[in-house]
Amino acid sequence: MPIRPEHIHDGPNSDPRRPPRRGTDDEPAPGGGDVIDPALASRLQFALTTIVHIIFPVMSMGLAPFLVYFTWKEVRTGEALYVRLRRFWTKIFAISFAVGTVTGLVLEFEFGTNFAAFSETVGALMGGPLAVEGMMAFMLEATFLGVFVFGRERVSDRFYFVSSVFVGLGTWLSAVWILIANSWMQTPRGFEMVTENGHPVVALTDPIAAYANPRFPWMFVHMQNAAVLSVALFMAGVAAYHIYRRRHLGVVDSGNYDAEFWRATLKVALVVLIVTAPFQVIHGDAYGRHVAETQPQKFAAMEAVWETDSYVPEYLIAFPTSVEDLTDPRAKELFGIGIPGGASWLASGGDASAEITGLNEFEESPPVAVVFWSFRAMVALGFWFVVLAFWSAYRWYSGELYDDRLLHKALMVSALAGVFTVELGWIVTEVGRQPWVIQGVMKTTAGVSPGLTGTDAALTLGGFAAVYLGLLTVYTYVIARIVRRGPKPPESDAESGRETSTIDPAPEVTDD
């Protein structure tokens, strides 16, 4: 059996022919009495906390442009419909923002608590963007959010509209600084390694090279478009749910069904979907080429190419025919439908005969199965969103937007698919860079806090698993409840809204 690079764990001086074993060579073995290797626990914990956290920025960054639009229309036209739209979606925004604040603070602390060695090494370069994010973006967002959520009666229309813009700007500026930091970890430059206080430390030599990183614009555009696309899918799904229940199931129980509101929501969401879904696919294609150029190892993992080859096909659909295919995919051995030369074409920007560097050329590989399948699923979902966009556009054009049962069902099941796809994309980005935390500069295992014990790490990992499970449950419950009840009816007081909810027999959540 040929030696596969992913079996090598321990850096440059390990012999590739030696049978794989964990905790040998330069990597310190987990302490004898430790419940878990602190490095592993820290990585799992960071993975868990980022995977949960990203849901909320996606919701707030994606909702921001919609809220600016609703507020603009409200201020300009004074129509009650836009007041309802703005109010309803602001409620979801505010809750998502609060959860995003507290889960984001966790990440900022975790750099220090779990990855102290990494923090010490990169502080001079990455600390700045994080501090500036706080001062420039977070402050703007959090203070104007106070006005936006609580201050409608206290400020003028104009000021109120400006607040909505600043809140949105804040959420997007946050992404700028976080992605400046993250893109540097993908394609680091503008620095040199020095020794300070006895530790290897990154010294900033060229701030412009480091911060105006080639990867940044790719990430930013892809991420922001993904956030807006995800929220458009969410809004369309929610609107489809209400319209479907009313029109096709004939449910009339919820006395405050607001046809005008849900139709407007659906249309606004679909316009955005029709723009963002195709754009994401086109942009993603070009982004893939950039990854192939700058992180060939990651690209090889995305395509599961082991031997350097030309005319590499792109498998649009890949079927695992055995468990081995699933856990250890190799593009060449998979049963799939591929475009001959497609991956080469992708990587080179139009040359089907281009050579793709295989994973065998690298000393270590990321967990290929995770990257390969996440990438496939992300791309498949991306195309599905395009199908949904064209399908909806066609039905809208033919005047059957409110009649197509199947479309409504498709939109409903896709309501959360956008957020899920963002998760997949980040898994490709972050897992695909392993074993490096900073590509080619520092390994993830080298970044872990030296003094961290397995017991402490296991304790917090378990704590987060429990707390975040609870948090997600409550968040989902609260959002589902808001969505199910819909907006406050145009001409009725809070009393009637409450009444209807208690007789609302929607199956998935029960009130007690």
Partner 1 sequence: MIELPIALADLWFGIVLAFLAAFLFLDGFDFGVGAIFALRTDATEREQLLAAIGPFWDGNEVWLVVFGGGLFAAFPPVYAGLFSRHYLLLFGVLGALILRGLAPEFYEQREDERWHRWWGRAFVAGSVGAPFLLGVFTANWVLGVSGIAPASVVVGLAVVALTVVSGAAFLGVKTRGSFREETTAYGPRAAVAYLALVVVALALAAPRLAFGPTTLFLVALSVALAGGYVLALRRGRYHLALATAGGLTAGLVALVGAWLYPLADPATGLTVADAAVGSPSIELLTGASVLLLPLVATYFVMLYSVFRGPIEPGETY
| Residues in region 129-168 near partner 1 by CB under 8 A | 130-136, 138-140, 142-147, 149-151, 153-155
Tell the smallest beta-carbon distance from residue 11 to partner 1 (Å): 22
Please list every residue from 347 through 406 that binds partner 1, using CB under 8 A: none
Q: What DSSP letter does each residue of 30-89 carry, written as one string? A: PPTT-SS-HHHHHHHHHHHHHHHHHHHHHHHHHHHHHHHHHHHHHHHH--HHHHHHHHHH
| 3-class DSSP state of 337 | strand
Considering only residues 445 to 474 of the shown chain, the ones binding partner 1 according to CB under 8 A are: 449-452, 456, 459-460, 463, 467, 471, 474
Please, what's the b/e burial string for 188-214 (b: 16 or more CB within 10 A of its CB; e: otherwise)? bebbeeeeeeeeebbeeeeeeebbebe
Q: Which stretch binds partner 1 (CB under 8 A): 5-13, 124-132, 321-329, 406-414?
A: 124-132
Establish if 112 lies at the interface with partner 1 (CB under 8 A). yes
For position 498 contacting partner 1 by CB under 8 A, the verdict is yes
Quick one: angle between helices 454-485 and 494-503, nearest 10?
A: 110
Orientation of helix 296-303 relative to helix 259-294, angle to 10°: 120
Output the CA–CA distances (angstroms, integers) from residue 242 to 67, 82, 478, in the order listed. 20, 18, 17
Q: Which of 125, 219, 228, 318 binds partner 1 (CB under 8 A)?
A: 125
The count of residues interacting with partner 1 (CB under 8 A) is: 76
d(CA 278, CA 291): 20
Q: How far is the CB of 95 from partner 1 (least distance, A)?
A: 5
Residue 8 or 95 having the CB closest to partner 1 = 95
Stretch that binds partner 1, among 92-100, 353-361, 422-430, 433-441 (CB under 8 A): 92-100
CA distance 68 to 75: 10
CB 41 within 8 A of CB 461: yes
Query: Which lies closer to partner 1 via its Cβ, residue 26 or residue 192?
Result: 192
Shortest Cβ 35–partner 1 spacing (Å): 15
* Contacts with partner 1, 399-438, as mask; x by CB under 8 A: ----------------------------------------
Span near partner 1 by CB under 8 A; candidates 55-63, 97-105, 218-226, 294-302: 97-105
3-state secondary structure 402-413: CCCHHHHHHHHH
Name the β-bridge partners of 319. Answer: 335
CB of 107 vs partner 1, minimal distance in Å = 10
Residue 440: what are its φ and ψ, rounded to 5°? 75, 0
Taking the least distance from each CB to partner 1, the nearer of 357 and 453 is 453
Residue 126 or 312: the one with the smaller Cβ distance to partner 1 is: 126
282 lies in the site for partner 1, by CB under 8 A: no
Contacts (CB under 8 A) with partner 1, residues 187-216: 194, 196-197, 199, 201, 203-204, 207
